[in-house]
Amino acid sequence: MIRLKRTSAAAAAILALFIGTGAAGAAAPSASIMPVTDMTTGEPCAISDIFPDPDAAISAMESIAVIDMEENGNAYMENRDVTPLPLDRWEADAYGITVRYPAYRLSTFSGRPGAYQFFWYELDGLYDPAFVDGVKTRARESLLVDESEPNGMEASALVSLPGIPVALGDDLFRIAMLYGGGKESDFTTDKQVYRLEDARFRGVTVLTSRDDPAGTGLITEIRSSRLDYNGLYTGVSDQQAVIDIMGEPSAREVIDEDASYYALLPEGEILWYDVGGARLGMLVGAEGLLSVVVLQEGARQAV
């Protein structure tokens, strides 16, 4: 097995998610006038190359965007007309498809044009599997790898979650400059919680020590309620699926009503795994589905 070093893993998380702008197109639904940039090749393709039924795919993405705007609309300075989706700047990469808005329709508090990223699993049944498999394969082939050290997950540092371009130990101030946000925080009992503005951070929070000055410090925890982790999908996979893929956890932690309040996590049970020197938590909510994936610095002993 080819594994990634700590530095390579952080670079790989960013490398697989190039940022770019697609070619200009018209503003009416049509597969022939909706170019998408395949970010693994830099080449444009038709939206019908990705979605056999573009209208159904667009409708599904608009439904996701509307629900998110109802829940998180206050995260944007300008949030008018989230639908219809703009049709002139689309990007496809290993994790999903990103739609970029003109600033007058959607913009962040830091003044950046808004965007929505939709994970492939959120559009299951709508995309052409051959196209998506090709994108994922090309992205994997482009990753920086290191074959000079022994194999084994235990020796490899896990510092980031798939598709989220930050890593444990990153400087929050630098990350906020890159991706916007990071100015408003909430608190758990021992950490400060921040949201970032880039489209890849929908459903993601990053945490620093509560002892750090607000807006600074090193990231010690990453949480995501929207993630594809090794074939485990938030909101889709159940607890048995987690155990089937990850194995038996090293520890379990019940998140009751009080713990939910103080930890800012949904009620449920976290299955903890010690992976690559980090703590990886799979929080299964009260409804029995994977709700949040948590990555923290440092492994812990089973309890």
pLDDT of residue 72: 78
Residues sharing a CB contact under 8 Å with residue 41, sequence separation 6 or more, in sequence order: 138
Q: Is 123 in contact with 62 (CB distance < 8 Å)?
A: no
pLDDT of residue 15: 31
- Residue with the bigger pLDDT between 163 and 26: it is 163
Average confidence (pLDDT) over 53-81: 85
Q: How far apart are CA 217 and CA 211, in angstroms?
A: 9
Q: How far apart are CA 162 and CA 124, in angstroms?
A: 18
pLDDT of residue 79: 66
**Banded pLDDT at 21 (limits 50, 70, 90):** very low
pLDDT at 144 over 60: no
User: What are the backbone angles phi and psi of residue 253, rounded to the nearest 5°?
Assistant: -140, 120
pLDDT at 13 over 90: no
Mapped onto helix, strand or coil, the DSSP state of residue 224 is: strand
pLDDT at 301 over 50: no
Q: How far apart are the first and last CA of the chain?
A: 31
pLDDT of residue 16: 31
pLDDT at 104 over 50: yes
pLDDT of residue 187: 93
Full 3-state SS string of 91-160: EECCCEEEEECCCCCCEECCCCECEEEEEHHHHCCCCCHHHHHHHHHHHHHHCCCECCCCCCHHHCCCCC
pLDDT at 110 over 70: yes
